[in-house]
Structure 1
């Protein structure tokens, strides 16, 4: 399978806008390891092979353990993730599956226990951004 459209070349402005979101996330103060878990989990849910491959590799380079990477899709069933990460992963799943999950109030309250308001906004931006990347990856048939 080959990519349907090389979208960064077809619309450099769209690509530049996506990179702008990534630049904002770099300045957000959220831990790089947390951002990679967020990106990887959303990409798993969305079935974006290109993004799963990229973010698993990026997480490894950043020092993520194989045990955590191998069990990310079943994070609720392990003890490998902190309460902060668990709150973030639940939020990732709810916002990625928005039509199904509807961002439950109890999950938002769990976020408030672990994150400041600014961090919640930036975490939500990270989730929105990776979901947009996933739609380009899947929609344009990008492969690792």
Structure 2
């Protein structure tokens, strides 16, 4: 499969808008390793090969272990993720599969046990941003 459109070149304003979201995300104070888990899990769900490849590599650079990366798609079945990370991963899945999951209150409450309101906004921004990148990646048939 080859890429359909070099969308960033065709629409530099759209690309700049997404970079603006990334810049806002960088100011949230959330640790990079957690953001990479968010990016990777959403990309797995969305089937974005380009983003899965990129964010698995970025997660390694951020210090993620192979065991955690290899089991991220089945995180509920492992002991590799903390309660804090599990709350985030559940939130990622609910927001990525919004039509099915509807962001349940119990998941939001679990986030509140570990994160401030500002951090929850940052987490939600991270999920929204990677889902947007994934739609361009999958829609434009980007490959690693």
| Alignment correspondent of 2:103 | 103
Cα distance in 1, alignment partners of residues 125 and 64 from structure 2? 22
Q: Secondary structure at the match of 2:74?
A: helix
Per-residue deviation, 1:102: 0.5
Q: What are structure 2's unaligned runs of at least 5 residues?
A: none
Alignment of structure 1 residues 48-127 onto 2, 5 Å? 48-127=48-127
Question: Which residue matches 2:142?
Answer: 142
Measured on the aligned residues, the alpha-carbon RMSD in Å equals 0.5
Give the deviation of 1:2 after TM superposition: 1.0
> Size of the alignment, in residue pairs?
144
Gaps of 5+ in 1: none
Tell me the TM-score normalised to structure 1 length: 0.99
2: CA distance between counterparts of 1:62 and 1:34?
Answer: 9
Partner of 2:132: 132
In the TM superposition, what whole-angstrom CA distance separates every residue of 1:6-59 from its partner, at most 9, and x where no partner exists? 001000000000000001111110010000000000000000000000000000
User: Structure 1, residues 86-115: CA drift from partner, whole Å, max 9, x if none?
Assistant: 000000000000000000010000000011
Report runs of 4+ in structure 1 exceeding 2 Å deviation. Answer: none
- Deviation for aligned residue 1:61: 1.1
